[in-house]
């Protein structure tokens, strides 16, 4: 056989970082606080099994075709009704089902931008979105968040500079408004209104990634950014956190012109029509609020267990915003601590997390890390935080 010659792959891959540090499968017994997986008991196994069987028995002939069955329309109607709780009032033809939120992010980025176009993100920012924007060959700029979310005042200053020709105007700004990944904070109502107003004034879009909105621990829901600017906001949410990520179903809401173009980019056609049929049956079978209540309670208990353990084992040596929902807690250490080094030692000791640099454009070492409280039970969380505190003390003593 002739020896293979080197092959040049797409240039898109050259600058796309791999978030591989949180994968530690070679360490048996590892307590995983790295990625945001739902806890196993949250999955409605029996109801989903019955729903899949019901979908096949009632609509199998259609549901197994490319075009699918009637469940698609039922799903869109459910999303439309549920979206009204976020002050989003749309018709079903403004909703498109995607294979998970990340596909939606990717589709929107490729619809709105050409290579070299400017995209603005938060700092820190969800690394899955970063990867989509890198692959779309966008030029990225980042703006910090604080306890009230994205610093919209700094965004406005940059937009004024862009309008004066001093920097590129963004095609869109990507925002996680509720239970931010990784920071765990919420964007204030005032900043939501201001950001939407800026999108109209400077003619850019906002991608509102609302993956965690249903996982609200306090019961206080804020109006969506979309409600303040429907012609300039593309809204996304998902079934991954409220049913199961394995069904690979999320959705995009936008004005008809944008949605028609996204559908052109979505070359594979309709998303898993059989699963849409099954989820439609599931949503008809269950009382959704009754389904959601214990789910949220489970995440709240895990959040509380992590907060208490951090207080018990770290005291005042670390800081964080207590998340009011979602999956994640963003922990800040003293400035001399490098969480990338901390990660290596923590994995060896039996705990994983994602180091802070994975959430920033420059990927320089930081003193932050993201902890997921979503997957492990309370005992595992407490044990993991105790181990992490021990590893931290060793690094702190070595630095001193």
Domains of the chain, first to last: 25-43+290-399 (3.90.1150.10), 46-285 (3.40.640.10)
User: Which stretches within the chain are classed as H helix?
Assistant: 45-63, 71-83, 101-112, 127-135, 152-163, 189-202, 256-265, 273-285, 288-314, 339-349, 378-399
pLDDT for position 21: 44
Q: Cα–Cα–Cα angle for 278, 283, 288, nearest 5°?
A: 150
Q: In what order do the strands lie in the sheet with 354-355?
A: 328-332, 368-372, 354-355
- What pTM value is reported for the model? 0.94
Q: What pLDDT is stored for residue 27 in this prediction?
A: 65
* Number of other residues whose CB lies within 10 A of the CB of residue 203: 11
Element (H or E) spanning 336, and its range?
Answer: none
Q: Pull the structure tokens for residue 342.
A: 């901390």
Instruction: List, in sequence order, every residue forming a beta bridge with 150; answer none if it has no partner.
Output: 145
Note down pLDDT in tens along the chain; length 400 residues.
678 888 888 877 766 666 644 444 556 689 999 989 999 999 999 999 999 999 999 988 898 999 999 999 999 999 999 999 999 999 999 999 999 999 999 999 999 999 999 999 999 999 999 999 999 999 999 999 999 999 999 999 999 999 999 999 999 999 999 999 999 999 999 999 999 999 999 999 999 999 999 999 998 889 999 999 999 999 999 999 999 999 999 999 999 999 999 999 999 889 999 999 999 999 999 999 999 999 999 999 999 999 999 999 999 999 999 999 999 999 999 999 999 999 999 999 999 999 999 999 988 889 999 999 999 999 999 999 999 999 999 988 876 6
SS3 category, 90: coil
Cα separations in angstroms, 9 against 5, 13, 135, 137 = 13, 8, 13, 15
């Amino acid at each position: 056989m002739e020896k293979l010659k080197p092959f040049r792959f797409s240039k898109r891959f050259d600058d796309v970082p791999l978030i591989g540090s949180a994968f530690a499968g070679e360490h048996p017994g590892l307590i995983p606080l790295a990625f945001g997986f739902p806890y196993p008991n949250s999955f409605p196994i029996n109801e989903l099994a019955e729903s899949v069987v019901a979908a096949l028995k009632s609509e199998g002939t259609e549901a197994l075709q490319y075009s699918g069955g009637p469940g698609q329309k039922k799903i869109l109607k459910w999303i439309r009704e549920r979206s009204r709780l976020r002050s989003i009032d749309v018709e079903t033809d403004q909703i498109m089902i995607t294979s998970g939120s990340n596909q939606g992010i990717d589709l929107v980025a490729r619809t709105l931008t050409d290579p070299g176009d400017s995209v603005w993100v938060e700092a820190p920012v969800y690394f899955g979105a970063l990867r989509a924007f890198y692959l779309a060959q966008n030029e990225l700029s980042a703006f910090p968040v604080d306890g009230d979310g994205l610093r919209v005042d700094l965004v406005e200053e940059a937009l004024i500079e862009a309008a004066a020709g001093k920097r590129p105007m963004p095609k869109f700004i990507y925002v996680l408004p509720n239970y931010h990944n990784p920071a765990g904070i919420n964007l204030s109502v005032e900043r939501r209104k201001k950001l939407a107003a800026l999108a109209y004034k400077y003619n850019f879009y906002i991608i509102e990634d609302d993956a965690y909105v249903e996982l609200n621990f306090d019961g206080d829901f804020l109006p969506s950014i979309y409600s303040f600017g429907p012609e300039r906001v593309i809204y996304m949410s998902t079934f991954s956190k409220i049913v199961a990520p394995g069904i690979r179903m999320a959705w995009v809401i936008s004005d008809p012109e944008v949605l028609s173009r996204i559908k052109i980019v979505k070359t594979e056609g309709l998303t898993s029509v059989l699963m849409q049929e099954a989820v439609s049956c599931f949503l008809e079978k269950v009382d959704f609020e009754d389904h959601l209540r214990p789910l949220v309670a489970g995440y709240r208990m895990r959040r509380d267990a992590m907060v208490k353990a951090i207080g018990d084992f770290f005291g005042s040596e670390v800081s964080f915003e207590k998340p009011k929902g979602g999956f994640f807690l963003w922990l800040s250490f003293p400035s001399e601590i490098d969480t990338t080094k901390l990660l290596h030692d923590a994995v060896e000791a039996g705990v994983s997390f994602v180091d802070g640099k994975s959430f920033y454009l420059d990927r320089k070492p930081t003193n932050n890390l993201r902890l997921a409280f979503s997957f492990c039970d309370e005992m595992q969380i407490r044990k993991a935080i105790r181990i992490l505190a021990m590893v931290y003390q060793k690094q702190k003593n070595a630095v001193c």
